[in-house]
Chains A and B, each alone.
Chain A
Amino acid sequence: MALLEFDDVSVTYRSRGADIPAVRGVTLNVNAGESLGLAGESGCGKTTLTSTVLRMQPKSAKVTGEIRLNGDNILDMTWGQVRALRWAEASVVFQGAMHALNPVQKIGDQLAEPILLHSKVSKKDADRRVGELLEMVGLPARRADAYPHQLSGGQKQRVMIAMALACDPQLIIADEPTTALDVMVQAQVLNVLQGLVKELNVGMVFISHDLSVLSSTCDRIAVMYAGKIVEQGPAADVFDHPQHPYAGALAGAFPRIGDTRYRYSPSGLPGDPPFPGDLPSGCTFHPRCPVAVERCATTEPSLIQHGSHQTACLLVGSEIA
């Protein structure tokens, strides 16, 4: 049994009478001690999918399928059970730490809050734990007295990571934890996260649009497009030998140091991901796909095992690709 199992999960938003499918039948597992990278452009459903783990999706969203954490289906739980599960079993490092901390509360109090909420400890023990947590992410314990505005962006992000660890969760969802940070700080934060997964044996879902970051941080990568997984496999394989043309485009969008090809022809992918309320027929990627053939517009491919990957593309494995 995996730590986290998404079993045919779909999330549909209802907006002005229309159904907007943001996630369409995703099946995905994360094991303890494993980090899974979730890649894709903005709007492809990454955050929507992971928000369902803590039932944080908006009220207007309808979730079907099963989401099991340690075998228990989260969608069947009462709100009381969900609240007990939040942060204690699974926590989140939110996108954009700049605003994810309460500006008028000391960070120490914000770190202690979930500890006091989920475990029966004294304020003094909680404070001691806060000090440990801060040191774990490389901040001095006395920074607990600081307010968020007194910290730099990287420090805030590390506070967020410390906060995510506060209740010893089994699963951490890191939603673009490094996007707003400069490259040096990004490397520091990634190091911290990577080290924690290995040392504390937690499972991690790491969301990013940056395949190069994911390939160096994660064990496995899943690429999402228009609410579906289009490719999944071992991290290095997906990055170095992508099978799906979309994964190829994502991988090609990041230059590789030392490879002159990228310096002379940086490649991008024209166009935008489709609006979930108005998806193209057949393979949803076909209008942007550089190698699309006629039947791509009519036949929707399913996720099929090809070597070490699972890929949803009609052309993979056939002669044309």
Chain B
Amino acid sequence: MALLTETPARTPSAAAGGWANPSVRYAVKRTGAAISTFIFVLIFNFFLFRILPGDPVALYTRGRNVDPESIRALEAKLHRPIGQQFLEYARNPFTGNGPSVKYNQSVWEVIAPALWPTLLLVGTATLIATIIGVWLGIRSGWNRGERFDVISSNTTLVLYSMPEFWFGMIMLIVFAVGIGPIPGMFPTGGLSDPGVDTSTPAGWLNVAWHLFLPVTTLAVIYLAEYSLIMRASIIEERGQDYVQTARAKGLMDKMVRRQHAVPNALLPTMTLVFLNLGFVVGGAITIEYVFSIHGLGSLTVDALQGPDVPLLQALFLLFSGAVIFANLVADLLYGYFDPRVRT
């Protein structure tokens, strides 16, 4: 019963694989962009440290007794043509600038043990914050102005405005030191008690007990941000025409929310979560410092105090790489969930 003749429609090429497939093309494009950004950072990171003011030799050796021979060797190394030095760096960007000045170890050997505590801390906190934050945001945004929303959005606003180190210190005073009737229940710092074998289940529990306060602190701060974004996003989607359509179809309120509003509203929150995840590898500095966790954050503070130039350079590169990688993951996920960006 065609009332109209078939109009020539654009043929979707989704059936075809390879380069013709818009999804593949999108993924390749985004990955390419990420790689070129990283190459730019690589180059920038090299020259950034070359244009630091002052005598590089003094910078490398400040505050330490160094025998004249080593200084001469260092000078000779730095006097080589810049292209040659860059090639040496480019071949091995992390360790190409020599060993850590402060630890007198290969840069990588200094960074590797600090990586795990940070990933554990930040990863757990982000996971918890995302789940709770998104749930809170959806619930309060969907029922905007109701009591749940008033309580939730005011609380999250307060939490969002708190400096994380300050909040961490309060948590320490209340729950680790103990205040009034509240006994000190948690350790004040570190990742595990000395002498505990962290490869056994008992060791994991010990780590979990140590991580409770810092993870809670970080998670609370992040979830405040995520729930506020999710709330704003749900409120925006709630007023869209397609939500109206879904209601008119006779769907129940929760189906309208789950199947129509939430999939659309999640998109901006997802981007934010992944962007944060990238920054957070280096950004947990204050929390690590407050809770004496020897992760990348504490290591950065150490390296800055030196300053330990080779170590700093490697850390900068690592942090930039994390941001670029997280961005790429966000882009790819966005492409997966939002058909509009694929084409």
Contacts and interface: CB of A to CB of B under 8 A. Distances in A.
Interface of A: 54, 56, 82-88, 91-92, 94-96, 99-105, 113-114, 117-118, 135-140, 143, 145-147, 149-150, 155, 158, 163, 188, 191-192, 195-196, 199
A114 B249 contact: yes
B242 A196 contact: no
15 contacts: A96-B241, A104-B263, A104-B338, A104-B340, A105-B263, A113-B251, A118-B250, A135-B2, A138-B3, A138-B4, A139-B7, A147-B340, A150-B10, A150-B12, A155-B9
A307 B250 CA distance: 42
Contacts of A149: 339-340, 343
Nearest to B267: A104
B5 interface: yes
Given A137-B3, A138-B4, A191-B3, A100 B339 contact: no
Given A117-B251, A136-B3, A101 B245 contact: yes
Given A94-B241, A150-B10, A199-B1, 9 more contacts: A56-B247, A87-B248, A99-B241, A99-B242, A102-B245, A118-B250, A138-B4, A139-B9, A191-B4
A172 B252 CA distance: 21
B249 A86 contact: yes
Interface string B243-258: 0111111111000000
Contacts of A99: 240-242
Interface residues of B, number: 33
Given A113-B251, A117-B249, A103 B242 contact: yes
B260 interface: yes
Contacts of B240: 99
B250 A104 contact: no
Nearest to A166: B249
Contacts of A83: 250-252
B55 interface: no
Contacts of B267: 104
Contacts of A86: 247-250
A112 B245 CA distance: 13
Contact of B245 (A82, A94, A140): A94
